[in-house]
Each structure stands twice: as structure tokens, then as C-alpha cells.
Amino acid sequence: MVDDIFPWVKLISDYIEKAANQHLKPFNLTLSQIRILNFLRERKGEKTSQKDIEDYFEVTHPTVIGILKRLERKGFVTSEFDSEDKRVKNIYLTENEDSVYNAMDDFKKTTEQKLLQGLTTVQIQEVRSLLKSFYENIQD
């Protein structure tokens, strides 16, 4: 396993997801839900449709619908049909999202510091560059 990259990537990903879900338990949210809330926060002021979310996260329509329904029930998002195209459903954040954002942002910073502890600035830049390259490579 030491020479294989895939198991290490999987272990790190699993750790982050488990720790994030544990951290989010008091908010009754999951990492998948937070990813969508963060995406909507980044796009604040822009119309964001379910299709935009599907495309960005590269997930299926039923997956997005399920996550959005749970977020809407919990009061973090609202949805409405587009005034120009009734086939399009736009998603909007509610003010409740602010309460979770700070907690998740703190978790994200702490976890990233933990992952990168002991690395030099140059090594950190290299890790970021390599991860970006890995992602671009698998997109082909």
C-alpha cells in the first residue's frame, strides 16, 4: 500500500468526510449538504438552478433533488420556478445558512492546517498544484 497513491487519497477523503459529518451533527447537516450550501454562498446574487448544481458537482438529478429537499425542509434553502422559464427551478439560500457557515469555515481551516502541518510554504504550493493536476488528469 505504501507505493500506491489511491489508498492514501481514499483514506484522507474518508477521514475528512467522517470528521466533517461529526462536526456538522449539531446542525443536522452532512458534508454533501454543506458543499451545496457553500456553492450557493459563492454564487450569492446569481440565479442558481438545480442543473447548475448538478453540473458543478457532476452528480445526477435525483441526487441533487434529494439533497435540496432535505436542505429546504431544514430551512437552509428555498426554491422557486424561474419567471422566464418555468422548467427551471432556482435555489436560494436563507438566512439560516449563516449560522452554519462560520462553524464549517472554522472546521475547514483547522482540518487544512492539520493536513499541512510540518510542510513548508513551497511544499504546500506543490501539494495544491499536484492535487489540481490529479483532478485535471482524471477529467480526460
Q: Read off the C-alpha cell for 127.
A: 501539494
> Quick one: DSSP state of residue 11?
H
Residues ≥6 apart with Cβ < 8 Å to 87: 81
If one counts the domains in the chain, the total is 1
71 within some domain: yes
Print the domain residue range for 84: 6-98
d(Cα 48, Cα 40) in Å, to the nearest integer? 7
The whole-model pTM stands at: 0.78
Residue 1 has pLDDT above 90, yes or no: no
Q: Are 91 and 77 in contact (CB under 8 A)?
A: yes
50 within some domain: yes
CA dihedral 29, 111, 13, 122 (to 10 degrees): 150
Residue % of the chain over a pLDDT of 90:
61
d(Cα 118, Cα 93) in Å, to the nearest integer? 38
Residue % of the chain over a pLDDT of 70:
98
CATH number of the domain residue 67 falls in: 1.10.10.10
Residues 91-133: tens digit of each pLDDT: 999 887 777 888 788 888 999 999 999 999 999 999 999 999 9
34 within some domain: yes
Q: What number is the average pLDDT over the span 77-96?
A: 88
Burial class from Cβ neighbours inside 10 Å (0-12, 13-18, 19+) for residue 73 reads: exposed
What is the structure's pLDDT at 87?
Answer: 86
